[in-house]
Amino acid sequence: MKIQLVDLHAQYLTIKEDIDEAIKRTIADTSFIGGDEVRKFEQAFAQYIGVNHCVGCANGTDAIEIMLQAMGIGKGDEVIVPAISWISTSEAVSSVGATPVFVDIDPDTYCIDAKLIEAAINARTKAIIPVHLYGHPANMDSIMDIAGENNLLVLEDCAQAHGAEWNSQRVGSFGHAATFSFYPGKNLGAYGDAGGMVTNNSELAGKARMIANHGQKGKHNHLMEGRNSRLDGLQAAILNVKLSHLDHWTALRISHAGYYQELLKDTPLKLPHAQKETKHVYHLYVARTGNRSKLMDFLKQNGISTGIHYPQALPFLPCYQNLLDSVHDFPEASSAVSEVISLPLFPELTKGQLEHVATSIKNFF
Ligand SMILES: *Cc1c(COP(=O)(O)O)cnc(C)c1O
């Protein structure tokens, strides 16, 4: 039995007719950039998250960068980010000319440790970017309180957390703005690169829309220099089809995670768990073991692909050596990155496949 970490083809087969039809229709309409599918998706996704505005863009990295720019963040500013994320979170901060300031993670959730944020704030700090890592929401109560007390903006990086909830409210609706990636492997994924920015603030939405489309407000009316970062019609048409399945797919992810929990509870693996305030959407099922490389090899021999998200904490990447100082050592992030292992988790996994993964893990230990 071969089990991939993610199987996008299996998902395509479940919605093939609708996807093929949507692609054909969009090509027939030649709605390649902009058009009805893009407008429809922006409205539907804003409503799904529970905010007033969604602005589509080319990818989730651009989304963070454009929203930071719309917030007026740039040279001389500092932005607080977690020590573990995909590089986009900190890369976007640097791209607008600001400096990312890393804060260690909470070892139970792998998200930014809210208790450590205040020590990282100074007069240059302008914003916090919490990342709902692996699909588990960051502590939005504490983060919004700290931001309020210190007059900071909050931009939620929701790239891994479509539909996740904190206290029964969807992530992406807490901060001043939030960004999503629709990279193919994400919980809601296009068939190419795609991204989106959401906010209740119409001024931020308007600015972001302008920046993403060459600074135009209406055709040829360039109020500023912007860039080209648009959501294309084909990707929007695909996302419109897929959005209607997202809640079902999320329910399957949660159910699979629950089955892993049951099957693996007596192994030495430290399993992920959802804090009581949260709905964890398991973009990734990340367990921990001191025996990682041997376990990964063993599972590979049994036809099971696993992953590491991520092999290094952001502050220790070669590109950030200029930012490191002796005071900050990020003990929790450092220890997590040497032990985390992502097991196969996607909606189309069968009971038999989940059992094969669990049995192989038990055989290893
Ligand atoms: C995937 C991801 C992004 C970036 O999205 P792209 O669409 O690949 O540019 C940003 N942040 C996090 C946490 C991600 O996982």
pLDDT band at 60 (very low <50, low <70, confident <90, very high): very high
One-letter identity of residue 25:
R
Q: How far is the CA of 85 from the centre of ligand 1 (A)?
A: 9
Tokens at 102, concatenated: 């890393």
Residue pair 357/1 in contact (Cβ under 8 Å)? The answer is no
**What's the gap between Cα 298 and its chain centre?**
29
Measured over all CA atoms, what is the biggest interatomic distance in the chain, rounded to whole angstroms?
A: 65
Confidence of residue 326 (pLDDT cuts 50, 70, 90): low
Give distance in angstroms: CA of 224 to centre of ligand 1: 27
Q: Which amino acid is at 76?
A: G
In angstroms, what is the span from residue 46 Cα to ligand 1's centroid? Answer: 19
- Residue 52 burial by CB count (10 A; 0-12/13-18/19+): exposed, middle or buried? middle
Model confidence pLDDT, tens digit, residues 192-212:
999 999 999 999 999 999 999
pLDDT band at 86 (very low <50, low <70, confident <90, very high): very high
CA distance 159 to 86: 10
**Which of 86, 129, 158, 231 is the pocket-test mutation for ligand 1 (most atoms within 8 Å of CB)?**
86
Predicted confidence at residue 345, as pLDDT, reads: 98
Distance CA 334, CA 20 (A): 45
The whole-number pLDDT of residue 327 equals 59
Predicted confidence (pLDDT) per residue in 168-195, tens digit: 999 999 999 999 999 999 999 999 999 9
Mean pLDDT (whole number) for 108-131:
98
Q: Which residues pair with 3 in a beta bridge?
A: 304
Q: Which of 62, 65, 89, 110 to mutate to test the pocket of ligand 1 (most atoms within 8 A of CB)?
A: 89
Q: How many residues comprise the chain?
A: 365
Please give the distance, rounded to the nearest whole angstrom, from the Cα atom of residue 362 to the centre of ligand 1. 33
Report the residue among 105, 155, 183 best suited for mutation to probe ligand 1: largest number of ligand atoms under 8 A from its CB. Answer: 183
Q: Tell me which of 160, 231, 282, 310 to substitute to probe ligand 1's pocket, judged by most ligand atoms within 8 Å of the beta carbon.
A: 160
- pTM value > 0.95: yes
What is the reported pLDDT for 363? 98
CA of 283 relative to ligand 1 center, distance in Å: 12
The mean per-residue pLDDT over the stretch 64-86 comes to: 98
Give the residue, by CA position, lying nearest to ligand 1 atom 7.
Answer: 60
Distance between the two ends of the chain, CA-based, in angstroms? 20
> How many Å lie between the centroid of ligand 1 and the Cα of residue 200?
22
Unique residue bearing structure tokens 């699979």: 256
Query: What is the spatial distance between Cα 136 and Cα 282, in angstroms, rounded to a whole number?
Result: 7
pLDDT the model gives residue 329: 85
Percent of the chain with pLDDT over 70: 99
Question: If you measure from the C-alpha of residue 302 to the centroid of ligand 1, how many angstroms do you get, rounded to a whole number?
Answer: 30
**Residue of minimum CA distance from atom 5 in ligand 1:** 60
pLDDT at 316: 94
Instruction: Report CA(195)–ligand 1 centroid distance (Å).
Output: 9
Mean pLDDT of the chain: 97
- Cα separation, 307 vs 114, whole angstroms: 27
Whether the pLDDT of residue 232 is over 70: the answer is yes
Mean pLDDT of 44-70: 98
Q: Does the bond joining 310 to the residue before it have cis omega, within 30 degrees of 0?
A: yes
Index of the ligand 1 atom closest to the CA of residue 61: 9
Nearest to 155 by CA among 128, 194, 182: 128
Residue 328 has pLDDT above 80, yes or no: no
Identify the residue whose tokens are 């479940």: 14
Q: Provide residues with CB under 6 Å of ligand 1.
A: 59-61, 85-86, 88-89, 131, 157, 159-160, 181, 183, 193, 195
Strands 78-82 and 99-103: what pairing? Answer: parallel
287, 299 contact by CB (below 8 A): no
Handedness of CA 166, 172, 177, 179 (dihedral sign): positive
How far away, in angstroms, is 315 Cα from ligand 1 center? 17
